[in-house]
Amino acid sequence: MVLAHQGITNTHIENCTVLPTPNEIKDFLPLSDRAERTVLKFRSQIENILDGKDSRQFVVVGPCSIHDIDSAIDYARRLRVLADKVSDKLLLVMRVYFEKPRTTVGWKGLINDPDMDDSFHVEKGLKLARRLLIEIAEMDLPAATEALDPIVPQYISDLITWSAIGARTIESQTHREMASGLSMPVGLKNGTNGNIGVALNALKAARGSHSFLGINAMGQVSVFRTSGNPYGHIILRGGGGETNYESEKIRAVEQQIKDAGLPPRLVIDCSHGNSKKDHTRQGGVFGEIIEQVRAGNRSIVGTMLESHLNPGNQPIAPSVEALEYGVSITDKCMGWEETETLLMDAYHRL
């Protein structure tokens, strides 16, 4: 749809494309009974971990972002095998991130730009994302993602076990309201500068009731009233040049959460500020967290790792075929061999 430039509205809009409604996408790619059972089962298990009814740790592990469906499925199959080996102590959740918040500009993720060429075929991206999530769920593997665009959950949230609100959006009222209405547990990251207060405020907000604008499954603009999400929790990811996974810093955050009258439940992101953006340091951070859990810490319920089939990252190429297989095109990741070793080592130590 081309919009006329009449000097009053849409003066900086070049065109507008109408997307299929969430229901239309879901009718095209329906949720199978097996996939639904997977999502409901693992949401319940993470809720039990957050409630202290399940002593396991959950680990959100996988690529920084999804850009290639084949390598994502390859990763999921490997993770499924590993998940069975460690399931009595670790609940493995695959990181399946389709949207990338950018500090300035850059590739915005598979949903926004699936062809990685600024063509922004969003309908194609939504279908690719949903198809991948269905395949992962039918493997009996839970999926995690970042909730960035407030419209996208209508298209894929029925396939998501755990969501995060990122450090760049944690102060956004829109994202706090969205978190209050999401149907799965939601992790809330501290700010990019390391500020814990914004995450604590977001946690309070997400647990409360809100009314906000959005679209319903039929694509109609609607007012949503939420009851609040009781399974919000803080993610410590470091920031501002500082880490925040050390035991004394975790104790300080625990006290802040308790002072707010909330249950101290923490997930530690071993990447980003806590690894100082060095993917080779993630293993050391993860090992320190496991030691704290072994020493009796009960507020740490989970960890996050950025991991792909092969280590490091690479620049975006003109096509998927021109890229090195299984290597991140966003943040640097650890490779599969290191990931498997770390998780098996954690399993034996717990």
Q: Using an 8 Å Cβ cutoff, are 262 and 226 in contact?
A: no
Residues contacting 12, CB < 8 A, separation 6+: none
What pLDDT does residue 8 have? 83
Q: Does the structure show a pLDDT above 70 at 5?
A: no
Structure tokens at 50: 């957050």
Cα–Cα dist 178/188, whole Å:
12
**Residue-wise pLDDT tens digits, 189-205:** 999 999 999 999 999 99
Cα–Cα dist 176/86, whole Å:
33
CATH code of the domain containing 300 = 3.20.20.70
* C-alpha distances in Å from residue 111, one per residue of 96, 100, 148, 153: 12, 9, 11, 12
* DSSP per-residue codes, 278-307: -GGGHHHHHHHHHHHHHTT--SEEEEEEEB
What pLDDT does residue 75 have? 98
Examine residue 113 and state whether it is found in any structural domain, yes or no.
yes
Examine residue 134 and state whether it is found in any structural domain, yes or no.
yes
The radius of gyration of the chain's CA atoms, rounded to the nearest angstrom, is 20
Examine residue 76 and state whether it is found in any structural domain, yes or no.
yes
What pLDDT does residue 59 have? 98
β-pairing, 221-225 with 211-215? antiparallel
- Given pLDDT bands bounded at 50, 70 and 90, which one contains residue 4? low
Q: Using an 8 Å Cβ cutoff, are 244 and 285 in contact?
A: no
Cα–Cα dist 27/316, whole Å:
33
Q: Does the structure show a pLDDT above 90 at 2?
A: no
Q: How many domains does the chain have?
A: 1
What pLDDT does residue 321 have? 83
Query: What is the extent of the structural domain holding 79?
Result: 33-349
Examine residue 20 and state whether it is found in any structural domain, yes or no.
no
Cα–Cα dist 75/64, whole Å:
12
Backbone angles phi and psi of 248, in degrees to 5:
-70, -35
- Given pLDDT bands bounded at 50, 70 and 90, which one contains residue 11? confident
Q: What is the pTM (predicted TM-score) of this model?
A: 0.96
What pLDDT does residue 319 have? 77
Examine residue 138 and state whether it is found in any structural domain, yes or no.
yes
- Given pLDDT bands bounded at 50, 70 and 90, which one contains residue 1? low
Residues contacting 286, CB < 8 A, separation 6+: 270, 303, 305, 342, 346
Examine residue 151 and state whether it is found in any structural domain, yes or no.
yes
Examine residue 28 and state whether it is found in any structural domain, yes or no.
no
Going by the DSSP 8-state scheme, the letter that residue 191 receives in this structure is P
Examine residue 208 and state whether it is found in any structural domain, yes or no.
yes
